[in-house]
Structure formats: structure tokens, C-alpha cells
Structure 1
Amino acid sequence: MALEHHRVVITAAGRDFGRTLALQFASRGAEVHLSARTLEAAERVREEIIAQGHDADRVHAFACDLTDPASVREFVAAVAARTGHIDVLVNNGARYQHGADLLSASDEDVVDTLASAATGTVLVTKAFLPLLLESAKPDIVTMVSGCGETGHHRSDAHSAYYAAKSAQAGFTEILSRRLRDQGVRVISLYPPDFDNHDPLSDSWAGAPRTAKDPLTAQSVADCIFFAIGQPRDCFIKSFYFEQV
């Protein structure tokens, strides 16, 4: 799918799946605006994309601490200074907290986990909505996680992470209903833990994937590109995955 005419914002793009998506969107020709908690992390991915032959003027790096409302505002203002609209917002940022024992996380860990995924997603979406509404093809994509599914219990993530992801799920559910009349598609993904191979490595293409293999980042990314590539009358609200 070619995305030469798309302007895309990706949060937490400094590593892991955010980096994967940044590379994938850029490889399809999109102009990408990347944020990470530190500018250095975002710049590293920007340089990586440019090294692949992409136009430096279409790859932008920003710092954004999703737990800090002022940082979110500064990030959005910096993007708005470069463009009058964005077409895709990818809410990828969320701090993961491990530990089935509720007492295993400090109060600070709990607050940071909830703030990055729940509060951060709401603030980023709210702040970018005016730029999205200027687009003829606005999409909001949120990486929720299987931990946001009602009744899910297969992850060793901390209860605070479950709480944060459940908040994201509730937010995107109501947002999908409320923004549809304005032409904004709200797309949520609920994957279990998946294998995030380096998209630049030979293993990215790899052998054909089978039902016995773990879910890969490529499969998750393919869902995103499929959804945003549909005609505007097609609203794919959610992707749910079988929990192995």
C-alpha cells in the first residue's frame, strides 16, 4: 500500500514496535512525525530511516513525555508548526509494567504506567484532533493490547498495566462512536505479546508464517495498513487476536 500522500504521527517510536511502524510507514512513502520520551531516541530512528534512502524533509523527530501534559502540548505545537493537517495518528506509547503481584510495583510505577497509556493517549488524541479534522482521510490507530480485553488474564503484566489498557479500550470505544459522523475512523488493536523482529533483518521476510507460530510484528502492522487502506465507507473498529 502506497502512502505518499499521508502524514503520520507515531508516539513512542524510539524503539520496539513504534520503531517498526516508523520504518514501515516510511518505506511506503509516508511523511512521518516520530516522538519518543527523549529527542535522542527519536533522532536515532529518524537517522535510520534517512539512511534507507528516504527524504530527510519527510522524517521528523520530537521529544514527548506522555506522562507530562506540557510535553504533549509542545509536541503537538511543533508538529502543527510544520503541517496544517495529519492523516494518521498512531497511539503506540504505553509503559509496560511486569508483575502479577500487585505489591511488586511502587506507587510511582503505578502512576507512570497509568499516565503514559491512559492519560497520555487521551491528551495526545485530544491535542491532535484539530489537525486530524483538517484531513480528508483521518484515522486514529491505538495499540491497546489483549490486556484491554474484558476477561483477559493470560498476561504476566502488572494490574496497573491492565487498568491502563482497559482505560484505553474504553476511550477508543466511545471515541469511535462520537467521531464517526466527522469521518474520523478510530481503529484499536488488541494483540497478545508478539515477536517484534527487526524489520531490517533477513528474518523479517523469513519463512511462511503458520498457525503454530507466534504472532509477529509484521502481522500486527499488516492489520494497521489493511485498515487504513480501506475506502472511507469502511470503518474497521477493532482487531482481536486469538490468545494462545
Structure 2
Amino acid sequence: MDLGLNGRTVIVTGATGGLGEPIARRFAAEGADVAITYHDAADAAAKLAADLGGRAFRFELGDPASARDLVEGVLAWTGRVDVLVNNAVRWGSAEPDHTGGFESAPDDLWLRVLRDNIEGAVALTRLVTPHMRESGWGRLVHVSSSIASHGMAGGEYYGAAKAVRDIRV
């Protein structure tokens, strides 16, 4: 199937796990140049990027400077950004300092998870949108979860952050 992605540049955040890897593989199969991001899985990212003929970029979800570096790196590589898949997530209950339920979580954990998940996606979206407008073509894909609307014990932070991604850009 030709989706018109041949030669387009796609950024897939969080491409080394979960949904990210198959998303990146599908875009590559359509002929896109795929920039994948990783947080700490450098070896897995390098292997996946090599498999796809793409590039791997380290990206710290809650760091605006990291978002700028990512977009600048992709632009230096291909000169364009056509699709952004905001897939990366920081999962609150997986944080090393999380020892109990929602009610016992320290405020800094709750706020860090919200900030990273929301601000990371927003920062990237704001950085790539001007390039998409300039080229006259672009797509933004914000990966969410049913946890945003239905909840899940232990997923309170994650659900709140994903609910923001449900808002249309």
C-alpha cells in the first residue's frame, strides 16, 4: 500500500519499546526516513535505526533543550520533518522513587510525570509545526491510551498526561 510517505521524514519518539518499534517499522516500510528516539536504550535504538536505514537520537522527554537538539539533528540529517509521532511516555508507577499508590506519591513525582509527558509532546509539536507549515505538508500523531478516559490503578499520572494528548492540535 502506498501511503505517500516515500522520502518523507518521520520522527517516532519512544521507538525502542511498546508501540514505538512497530510504528517506526511501518513508516520505514512505506519508504519514509525514520528518526527514532530513545531515552536509555542506546544499543536497541542503534540496532533498530540500522535495520530501518534511519537514525537514532537520544531524547529526554521533559527537557526542552533535548527537543530542540532532536529537531535540529533531524533537520541536519534530511532537511525536513513531515510527521511527528508523539509516542514516548514517562510512566509514574515505574519511577524508582514510587513506593506506594496514588495517595502516597510525592508531589514532585506527580508533577514530573505530568510535565515530562505533556511538555515533552507540546515542545516537539511546537518545534516541528513551523517546518510542516513551510513545506505545506505535515502530520501530527499523538499516541494516547484508554487509561486517559477509563483510568487504571497505578496509572493516575499516566492517564492524566495522556488525556492532554487527546486534545486536538
Match of 2:156 among 159, 167, 188: 159
Q: Does 1:90 align with 2:85?
A: yes
Aligned length: 162
CA offsets, 1:83-137, max 9 Å, x none? 3322211000111234993224333431231122211111110011122223343
Runs (5+) with no aligned partner, structure 1: 176-244
CA RMSD of aligned residues (A): 2.3
Relative to structure 1, the CA distance from residue 79 to residue 15 in structure 2 (aligned partners, 3 Å threshold; closer, same or farther) is: same
Bigger RCO (CA 8 Å, 6+ sep) = 2
In the alignment, which residue of structure 1 is the partner of 2:120? 120
Task: In structure 1, give the amino acid aligned to 2:165.
Answer: Q
Partner SS, residue 92 of structure 2? coil
In the alignment, which residue of structure 2 is the partner of 1:210? none
Match of 2:70 among 57, 75, 93: 75
1: distance between equivalents of 2:88 and 2:147? 15
Q: Does 1:60 align with 2:55?
A: yes
Which stretches of structure 1, 4 residues or longer, exceed 6 Å deviation after superposition? none
TM-score normalized by structure 1? 0.59
Q: Give the Å deviation of 1:166.
A: 2.1
Percent of aligned pairs sharing the same letter: 31
Task: In structure 2, give the amino acid aligned to 1:82.
Answer: W
Q: Contact 1:86/1:135 (CA < 8 Å) preserved in 2? A: no
Runs (5+) with no aligned partner, structure 2: none
In the alignment, which residue of structure 2 is the partner of 1:12? 14
Relative to structure 1, the CA distance from residue 133 to residue 11 in structure 2 (aligned partners, 3 Å threshold; closer, same or farther) is: same
In the alignment, which residue of structure 2 is the partner of 1:208? none
1: distance between equivalents of 2:46 and 2:6? 17
Of structures 1 and 2, the larger Rg is shown by: 1
- Matching of residues 106-145 of structure 1 within 5 Å: 106-145=106-145
Relative to structure 1, the CA distance from residue 81 to residue 16 in structure 2 (aligned partners, 3 Å threshold; closer, same or farther) is: same
